[in-house]
Structure 1
């Protein structure tokens, strides 16, 4: 008997493997989804048993999981059924596992704001929103003006069930690496700044992100580590990045394909002799700093100067946060700050062991073999996920994350907060995470 089979969970997983091997060798064709559908239920008591084995990086788990995932029907990303048919908000909230009360006094007293810029992949957006939603927080959703109508309508139907979720009052046709991406965040910041919620920090995300930490862990990290300072990892603009601000760029917007392209017009120097920095476009910013961004003359002038630059969101936030008199600024900061983890292709073998999914624009779309690595990252969020191609990855992560959330809760859990079939459901008061983490 292998090591994998020396426990109850391992035994079930091995039994599942036997079923799969029997089906594979006796009936041969895994592409025959109609035949295979009944057997997919045996994938480690799908998905909980198999998820636990993957997160713990147990031997044979990855091979079995890949067979299970290959047998799943391809998703057309129409989103949850409850968003496609007439139904009540109460049913939507329950079916999508939204948590509708603060889980601790600590969280209730430290509300966060979120900006989510989205344009497609409804199923991933729903998973992300369900994972980060709490009634004490506030959310601004920016739907790309180019998004398909069914996607926009489904998002509006979902967000209409929550008083603390705003749709951006002004929307942009977002172009990759264009100014429109930065403007989308600014639009939401204005809406959040005018809201009545006294949020402490704002965090921006895209539709293919997912949290690696719980709401409570995020708060503790920001409050204890950053203590009222802004989190904008970055450095002085390197020489090989200067092309982004050396000439003017223009956006070409089309429903089929949009892009940004350089012109021959040289750019002037940044206003007010500001030193340009280069960093991540993702941040955690204090409310006072957001007010500074929206009102200070230097911030306004830099925003206007950045309109025709390449990927301005990768210099705008970090440059402003290096101004000494900006609220919560970090003039001497570098790349420190665990806001968001990405597996970059050129960092393979250095900062990460490789991508088990595939690369898009040199960013790893996580596969099943990345789960154990993700579960052990110190970062607050991770990118990039695609439940259409790797459905078990997001299924496993949302269950793993939810169980961490509820295990750290100070209130009694509601049944619908759990995902169906959580065999390793943790009883209230328990702190045993052995079946959730390695």
Structure 2
């Protein structure tokens, strides 16, 4: 009998598929990289809003907790192999797409080496690159501990130029710019840059972040909305910077840009071309110089540039109705003035943790809401407020990373 024409390519495809499957590690090979939260927590129950699990999580976070100190990290990081393995870092790309789509991170922190390291572990992938900016005025032992952690990874480094950061001042933007400039010069062909602070945490795996940014097709992820009238005073008046930012009565010249001003989040996901544009475009450089004496420039610079015609990856006209919009892209946040009874029109349930500067520091009871949000990151987390919230989110994110590891394209 003659062999059908389709048989040879079919057999080749079958054999080649079997060959690839032999090259891939079996799913159980990754089980040792799981991050179980511990016997005292039922994170599955927490994510299902089970009352008993939530009560156990509340009691877990209330108990006297020994914080992980800078000295602990200095001791642990003396043996990098043991540190990386013991902390269960992912040391190989888990999919081909992740390998071909590296990311860059600018991480700006000023306290808590523990929260920084837990964030780093959650977003770490060996093909990515990470710049860490530590506030110059932070204690020396924090600087030493962060440098010790960074030294255990070839793709993590502390910024060469450190700023003394004052809340709501230009120094916060400059810290990111310092990292951006070094990341552009690094020998990693990263595709998108993500800036985070030490209280952020991802709401998905590196693979999910890559897939979401791949789908953006070269456009930026920047929240942008028309500023309410009261926010215009932030850039209409000259501000002086000391221990805090103080508004003066001196009026500023109009902004030196072709477009109008917008406001949005200080946290963005932007293309490599956009980051390069920040350092070479004269209009952007003039806008930066003009913004140096404004209040909280990080909340208008990225949003305004996103609407500027000709900015790489920009989408002029894509605006949010207000900062509490459920369609926001940058961060899942609970503001005190928008939380409450959803049945009566509140944007989301109240904070289960603790409000700090009108922003929720999440508790375990917030996780069931968080894991259904569209942003790729959430803010704020603090193990001193709810270690259970951080542990359960760590477990959930790692489980998502390991689902299909070595199998997905």
* Residue 327 (structure 1) shift: 1.1
* Residue 324 (structure 1) shift: 1.6
Give the alignment partner of residue 188 of structure 1, picking from 179, 195, 198: 179
Please say if 1:241 is aligned against 2:226. no
User: 2:292 maps to what in 1?
Assistant: 307
Describe the superposition over 1:159-197 as per-residue Cα deviations: whole angstroms up to 9, x where unpaired. Answer: 011111121121101111110000111111100111111
The two structures have a TM-score, normalised by structure 2, of 0.85
CA–CA distance in structure 1, aligned partners of residues 308 and 280 of structure 2: 15
Give the alignment partner of residue 54 of structure 1, picking from 38, 46, 66: 46
Give the alignment partner of residue 100 of structure 1, picking from 91, 99, 102: 91
Give the alignment partner of residue 384 of structure 1, picking from 380, 383, 404: 380
Describe the superposition over 1:354-413 as per-residue Cα deviations: whole angstroms up to 9, x where unpaired. Answer: 1011111100001121121122222200000010221111111111111111114126xx
Structure 1 segment 53-202 matched on structure 2, within 5 A: 53-71=45-63, 73-78=64-69, 81-84=72-75, 87-202=78-193
Please say if 1:328 is aligned against 2:313. yes
Give the alignment partner of residue 338 of structure 2, picking from 318, 343, 347: 347
Structure 1 segment 261-340 matched on structure 2, within 5 A: 261-335=246-320, 336-340=327-331
Please say if 1:394 is aligned against 2:390. yes
The answer on whether the counterparts of 1:250 and 1:308 sit within 8 Å (CA) in structure 2 is yes
Cα pair distance change 1:67/1:272, threshold 3 Å:
closer
Please say if 1:365 is aligned against 2:361. yes
Describe the superposition over 1:93-130 as per-residue Cα deviations: whole angstroms up to 9, x where unpaired. Answer: 11222111101101000001110000101111111000
CA–CA distance in structure 2, aligned partners of residues 219 and 339 of structure 1: 15
SS of the residue aligned with 1:334? coil
CA–CA distance in structure 1, aligned partners of residues 381 and 250 of structure 2: 38
Between 1 and 2, higher relative CO (CA 8 Å, sep ≥ 6) is seen in 2
* Residue 48 (structure 1) shift: 6.6
SS of the residue aligned with 2:248? strand
* Residue 274 (structure 1) shift: 3.5
Computed over aligned residues only, the root mean square deviation of the Cα atoms, in angstroms, reads 1.9
SS of the residue aligned with 2:300? helix
User: 2:402 maps to what in 1?
Assistant: 406
CA–CA distance in structure 2, aligned partners of residues 45 and 397 of structure 1: 9
SS of the residue aligned with 1:113? strand
CA–CA distance in structure 1, aligned partners of residues 250 and 139 of structure 2: 35
The answer on whether the counterparts of 2:37 and 2:43 sit within 8 Å (CA) in structure 1 is no
The two structures have a TM-score, normalised by structure 1, of 0.79
User: 1:229 maps to what in 2?
Assistant: 219
Structure 1 segment 14-33 matched on structure 2, within 5 A: none
CA–CA distance in structure 2, aligned partners of residues 394 and 120 of structure 1: 17
Q: Which structure 1 residue ranges, 5 or more long, are not aligned?
A: 1-43, 253-257, 412-428, 430-438
Describe the superposition over 1:46-99 as per-residue Cα deviations: whole angstroms up to 9, x where unpaired. Answer: 44752221112113222232223322x234441583533572110111122211
The answer on whether the counterparts of 1:213 and 1:379 sit within 8 Å (CA) in structure 2 is no
The number of equivalent residue pairs is 362
The answer on whether the counterparts of 2:41 and 2:56 sit within 8 Å (CA) in structure 1 is no
The answer on whether the counterparts of 1:236 and 1:275 sit within 8 Å (CA) in structure 2 is no
SS of the residue aligned with 2:51? coil
User: 1:356 maps to what in 2?
Assistant: 352
Q: Which deviates more, 230-239 or 364-373? A: 230-239
CA–CA distance in structure 1, aligned partners of residues 315 and 363 of structure 2: 35
CA–CA distance in structure 2, aligned partners of residues 177 and 298 of structure 1: 23
